[in-house]
Structure 1
């Protein structure tokens, strides 16, 4: 659950494990930023605000529950705190491995080469006309 994110991401492995053939995927109007191939994650999917709105789901981060309307009443998805902690530890280890990866090092080098020179001046932010008086409260003037 990532209520602070505008992204909805599902890993290709998740689709495979659900038995969904990738030829069944088709474009929709709701923002869905794709299936992530070849990049392992610690989650099955990351669901953000657009998904919650679409399914009228309500996440509760304190109790690690997600509730949404279903055909036979409210559907509640939950996880144990121990399992959530295990996932967090795994995610931190995964993030550390990604940061140390050769692919990320190559990307860093490319960005550094293409970055503009910080010492080079691109212009000034000084006003051409000088300071200008602005009324804050027109009633008191």
Structure 2
């Protein structure tokens, strides 16, 4: 479940595991971004699949369009807002449940916290690997940026503490962790 995703995503490994031939995919010319922070856009292919939630006594099925991506993922698929809209489903991320109306009762799809944690951990490792593999060559090629000298008295980068501030503790167990906030707002 990903309520922030404007796409339903299916990984090519899942497509292969379902024994769906790649000839069933439609070519789409639009790229998408932000699967991994800093990663480049990938061209997509789409497929329409019948998706069903529930059991024999109480089920719903709809045809969903999935964007098939050709890179590894820690999930089989990601259900985004288009899925929720089509099924009129309500995700609850705190309890890891997806609920929707069925013909006889409410259909609830659940997951275990341990499974969600494992998938998130795998996704983090995979995202870190992808970002590092794409950014490392660029960092090697780019010149080292100049570091501003903040110790100069006239430096525009220097931090100047205002007199109208007060210290506020941010951690009740550690009184040394403080932030400074301004005590007077400027009039516009």
Question: TM-score with structure 1 length normalisation?
Answer: 0.61
Q: Which whole-Å deviations, capped at 9, do the CAs of 1:46-66 have from their partners, x for residues lacking one? A: 221112101222211011011
Q: Give, in angstroms, the shift of residue 88 of structure 1.
A: 1.4
- CA 1:105–1:7 in structure 2 vs 1: closer, same or farther (change >3 Å)? farther
Aligned: 1:3 with 2:3:
yes
The structure with more helix, counted as a fraction of residues: 1
Matches for 1:18-57 after TM superposition, within 5 Å: 18-26=18-26, 32=65, 34-37=67-70, 39-57=71-89
Q: Give, in angstroms, the shift of residue 81 of structure 1.
A: 0.7
Q: Give, in angstroms, the shift of residue 33 of structure 1.
A: 6.4
Q: Give, in angstroms, the shift of residue 10 of structure 1.
A: 0.9
Matches for 1:73-92 after TM superposition, within 5 Å: 73-92=105-124
Q: Give, in angstroms, the shift of residue 92 of structure 1.
A: 1.2
Tell me the distance in 2 between the aligned counterparts of 1:94 and 1:68.
32
Tell me the distance in 2 between the aligned counterparts of 1:84 and 1:13.
19
Tell me the distance in 2 between the aligned counterparts of 1:6 and 1:14.
20
Q: Give, in angstroms, the shift of residue 70 of structure 1.
A: 4.4
Give the number of aligned pairs: 107
Partner of 1:118: none
Tell me the distance in 1 between the aligned counterparts of 2:23 and 2:104.
30
- CA 1:74–1:11 in structure 2 vs 1: closer, same or farther (change >3 Å)? same
Partner-residue secondary structure (3-state), 2:126: helix
Q: Give, in angstroms, the shift of residue 40 of structure 1.
A: 0.4
Gaps of 5+ in 1: 113-141
Query: What RMSD in Å do the two structures reach over aligned CA positions?
Result: 3.0
Tell me the distance in 1 between the aligned counterparts of 2:12 and 2:96.
25
User: Pick from 83, 91, 99: which aligns with 1:67?
Assistant: 99
Q: Give, in angstroms, the shift of residue 6 of structure 1.
A: 1.1
Does the aligned pair in 2 maintain the 1:69–1:75 contact within 8 Å? yes
